[in-house]
A and B are shown apart, each in its own frame.
Chain A
């Protein structure tokens, strides 16, 4: 998959996943990389940026398997942005499909 597609869509995927539940970093990375081939290290700068812009907050939760984990949680603005980006993407891909299928 083309890198330029991936970059913009990564944010959408992260937000969408967080809509369903709170994730900790490693969990989020492995969930996304199951479906899309990415450089896993780029998720963390993305998460930092989302936090700085107020779409995401973090909290620590104890873990049985080791040190406390940093969980990422969507804010109200984050939910709004997630829905907006999803709608944009669906609209965009519908239009692109029409062009590709020559309708």
Chain B
């Protein structure tokens, strides 16, 4: 591979990055190659020593997306960060995706339970309220009133689930970022020499 191929492969792999970032990164490598040539090394040898541009690009993309996810609390940013980190090696799919999906499923389940409780509570309240006005049920008015309060209780309980779930999700988000950064430190990123 020569300098032109190396840099164009790098540019292509990183085309989705902000222009400023991309230009800075390319300049780093251009300068490196230039200095190496001035010191008397051969271009091909310098490029070979740098390693595979695709592997380098994967590393840069993972770092970039994790930083973006940290800056802005967003599901899309998180998805990109997880995807880019997985892209660093097949081995990591188990380490990263497994726990991530499991916890995501739990959070979703908790939300569904919360929402179901709220709906159930509303239904109980509504039914009891309506029955209050039907003559046939006059005899059990105390029970119906009790039912209304019970329904309200269920709504509150369900709401706690949903609200608690929101804060739990935020905590999970922060923990995932920490976990992805940890992965960057220990996973394979370069070719064997």
Question: What residues of chain A have their CB less than 8 Å away from a CB belonging to chain B?
Answer: 3-4, 6-8, 11, 25-26, 29, 33, 37-42, 44-45, 48-49, 52, 65-67, 69-70
Total A-B Cβ pairs within 8 A: 82
Stretch of B50-58, B95-103, B157-165 on the interface side: B50-58
- Please, how many angstroms separate the alpha-carbon atoms of A6 and B187 in the complex? 10
Best-buried of A41, A44, A45 by chain B (most CB within 10 Å)? A41
For the complex of A and B, 6 pairs with smallest distance between CB atoms: A39-B51, A41-B50, A39-B190, A41-B51, A26-B35, A45-B59
Stretch of B25-33, B126-134, B171-179 on the interface side: B25-33
| B49 and chain A: residue at smallest CB distance | A40
Which residue of B31, B49, B185 contacts A70 across the interface (Cβ within 8 Å)?
B31
With a cutoff of 8 Å between Cβ atoms, the chain B residues found around residue A39 in the complex are 49-52, 55-56, 190-191, 193
Best-buried of A6, A7, A11, A25 by chain B (most CB within 10 Å)? A7
Knowing A25-B31, A48-B25, A67-B31 are in contact, say whether A42-B190 is a contact too (CB < 8 A). yes
Tell whether, in the assembled complex, residue A52 and residue B190 are in contact, meaning their CB atoms are under 8 Å apart.
no
- Please, how many angstroms separate the alpha-carbon atoms of A7 and B190 in the complex? 8
| Shortest beta-carbon distance from B135 to chain A in Å | 72
Question: What residues of chain B have their CB less than 8 Å away from a CB belonging to chain A?
Answer: 25, 28-29, 31-32, 34-36, 38, 49-53, 55-56, 59-60, 63, 67, 184-193
With a cutoff of 8 Å between Cβ atoms, the chain A residues found around residue B63 in the complex are 45, 48-49, 52
With a cutoff of 8 Å between Cβ atoms, the chain B residues found around residue A70 in the complex are 28, 31
Tell whether, in the assembled complex, residue A66 and residue B38 are in contact, meaning their CB atoms are under 8 Å apart.
yes
With a cutoff of 8 Å between Cβ atoms, the chain B residues found around residue A7 in the complex are 185-190
Tell whether, in the assembled complex, residue B32 and residue A33 are in contact, meaning their CB atoms are under 8 Å apart.
no
Tell whether, in the assembled complex, residue B186 and residue A4 are in contact, meaning their CB atoms are under 8 Å apart.
yes
Tell whether, in the assembled complex, residue A65 and residue B32 are in contact, meaning their CB atoms are under 8 Å apart.
no
**8 other A-B residue contacts (CB within 8 Å) besides A7-B190, A25-B31:** A25-B32, A38-B190, A38-B193, A39-B52, A40-B50, A48-B60, A67-B34, A70-B28
Tell whether, in the assembled complex, residue B29 and residue A69 are in contact, meaning their CB atoms are under 8 Å apart.
no
With a cutoff of 8 Å between Cβ atoms, the chain B residues found around residue A4 in the complex are 186-188
Tell whether, in the assembled complex, residue B36 and residue A3 are in contact, meaning their CB atoms are under 8 Å apart.
no
